[in-house]
Structure 1
């Protein structure tokens, strides 16, 4: 009992010292006089208070944008719009959140009354939805552009993305009630012809803007692989034929050329020509592991609006010079 009382008294003293220092603005000399200890003891008490979790220090860094790199990207790739967040030394743990802020900034700029928004899937798209401000219901339609991937990583799933967007901005949701990846091309073709799925696919062709992620064929950056839906051997096969990334499961090489093997034929997703017909195609992606994929998506015209970070953006501009586009005409 005596030990418990002693501990309570110690904790009470640490709280008192922490409040005087952090809330009342007293310096360590002033606190030492009040408590009746030396200044060095006050310093040790403040350290102990942090170690015990009595004091938590959080730094909220204002988000900044790199307008110089935005202009360079826009001019280099003929983009409609670009938003580049300056990470300022922030580690990768915060990258998704920052990409979400950048993507939501662009989405809210383009989302208007009567818009038909097509939504893809993945961690970056989910991060954008997290950052979208809840607002008064808008008369819009929100369409799932890719099939479902089951219960795993549910918040990244196309169905969940549409559902969460409807909860935040209102409107009517159109769901693609079919698996994203089918066992055979024949199964995928058959599902696309069923009435409910066909209706969602046709609505996807009417989209005025799209919210898209950019996937990688590198296993450690592939949402397909991380979600457990594509084995590493299948990603290896895609890389062997030149694929560096995908948008909505539509794979391409670093020059933006379409790579469509049997994997592509097994997907329930929007067709490339219908995706590229959408006037505003917002791609949200970042991290050095995604550089080749983003470069291919830009060159191939899969996206024409980009949200990324400044480190990734600089690397994209560097690789644009290292890997010339082989006289391929840029698509907007």
Structure 2
């Protein structure tokens, strides 16, 4: 069974069906995919795709344009998919909200709806950590994916007690599913590259990283190069170190790895001390779900898209518009 076929099963019967219906309708009417291509991409049968399209027309979801009944900006979504070659884009209209916590909650609910709307829930998911990921866990309904194996894909051991929920994402998601968690009990950034190499050679850590690489669906968020950075809040980096990264062209971090505008590593020495999946693994993963919102993350979101690290993007409308600019 391939990675996509693992999602093929009975269509959802609750509100999650609306999200799947919108996704299929966009691909068919706006993006111009055939029903066979959509079935392959989404792990559905052609009969299921046809049924969803029929229902979309019958229920008024598809008229002259796609009009999702959920809180989504379908026009921006289709434009993002076309511009960046995404499998799916979910854009949440936030009405000009700039508060980071409200933005995180908005996109987290949308990402949770996408996960619960999958035709069949994944048996394994790899996750990063941070405020957006913690919000995603809070938005997931209890019992959404019984038996799910959640694997941590980058180091997250908290160095400070502040905001500990943001570092415990894998365990919290496993409890919500409910399922099991394979943790990576190491810091995100180490003091020396030799320490990282020694830890990666340890059998326990090596097994955890192997499980992370085996996950067919990876979910992660991104951080800006500001004092609000979760890596700064957790004690991994100082404001002065963040300023040094900005001077080297860093626009944000992905899995704790700071990148430039073209998606390249900004500081190789720092990256050599960062423990977790390398960014090239994201580029080759079957499904990568990225959550990103807020002005300070516009540049890192564009960098991730430029490097082809994202296949499913969940964002706010302001960020979406910035990503459609030349």
Specify the TM-score bucket, using the shorter chain as the normaliser. 0.7 to 0.9
Give the secondary structure class of the aligned counterpart of 1:173: strand
Cα gap change, 1:172/1:191 in structure 2, threshold over 3 Å: closer, same or farther? same
Q: Is the 8 A contact 1:247 1:302 kept in 2?
A: no
Rounded Cα–Cα distance in structure 2 between residues aligned with 1:113 and 1:67: 24
Rounded Cα–Cα distance in structure 1 between residues aligned with 2:311 and 2:273: 26
Rounded Cα–Cα distance in structure 1 between residues aligned with 2:97 and 2:188: 34
For residues 112-151 of structure 1, the aligned pairs below 5 Å read 112-113=120-121, 115-135=123-143, 138-150=146-158, 151=161
Cα gap change, 1:142/1:254 in structure 2, threshold over 3 Å: closer, same or farther? same
Question: What's the TM-score once normalised by structure 1's chain length?
Answer: 0.72
Cα gap change, 1:111/1:257 in structure 2, threshold over 3 Å: closer, same or farther? farther
Q: 1:70 aligns with which of 63, 72, 77?
A: 77
Q: 1:294 aligns with which of 292, 295, 301?
A: 301
For residues 88-107 of structure 1, the aligned pairs below 5 Å read 88-92=95-99, 93-107=101-115
Match of 2:41 in 1: none
| Runs of at least 5 residues in structure 2 that lack an aligned partner in the other structure | 1-68
Cα gap change, 1:100/1:176 in structure 2, threshold over 3 Å: closer, same or farther? same
Q: Does 2:83 align with 1:83?
A: no
Q: 1:194 aligns with which of 202, 219, 225?
A: 202
Cα gap change, 1:242/1:91 in structure 2, threshold over 3 Å: closer, same or farther? closer
**1:156-200 deviations in whole A, cap 9, x for unaligned?**
00xx11111111112221110111111111111111111111111
Q: Is the 8 A contact 1:145 1:201 kept in 2?
A: yes
In the alignment of these two chains, the number of paired residues is 255
Rounded Cα–Cα distance in structure 1 between residues aligned with 2:145 and 2:107: 25
Rounded Cα–Cα distance in structure 2 between residues aligned with 1:137 and 1:72: 31
Match of 1:246 in 2: 253
Give the secondary structure class of the aligned counterpart of 2:117: helix
**1:99-129 deviations in whole A, cap 9, x for unaligned?**
1111212222348455320000111111111
| Runs of at least 5 residues in structure 1 that lack an aligned partner in the other structure | 1-61, 322-332
Cα gap change, 1:180/1:199 in structure 2, threshold over 3 Å: closer, same or farther? same
Q: Does 2:179 align with 1:167?
A: no
Shift of 1:259: 2.8
Q: Is the 8 A contact 1:115 1:209 kept in 2?
A: no
Give the secondary structure class of the aligned counterpart of 2:301: helix
Match of 1:277 in 2: 284
Give the secondary structure class of the aligned counterpart of 1:258: coil
Match of 1:315 in 2: 322
Rounded Cα–Cα distance in structure 2 between residues aligned with 1:186 and 1:250: 17
Question: What's the TM-score once normalised by structure 2's chain length?
Answer: 0.74
Match of 1:185 in 2: 193
Match of 1:156 in 2: 166
Q: Is the 8 A contact 1:246 1:297 kept in 2?
A: no
Q: Is the 8 A contact 2:142 2:177 kept in 1?
A: yes
Q: Is the 8 A contact 1:85 1:308 kept in 2?
A: yes
Rounded Cα–Cα distance in structure 1 between residues aligned with 2:144 and 2:244: 47
- Aligned-residue RMSD, C-alpha: 1.9
Cα gap change, 1:254/1:184 in structure 2, threshold over 3 Å: closer, same or farther? same
Give the secondary structure class of the aligned counterpart of 2:210: helix
Rounded Cα–Cα distance in structure 2 between residues aligned with 1:137 and 1:71: 28
Q: Is the 8 A contact 1:217 1:243 kept in 2?
A: yes
Q: Is the 8 A contact 2:222 2:252 kept in 1?
A: yes
Shift of 1:91: 5.0
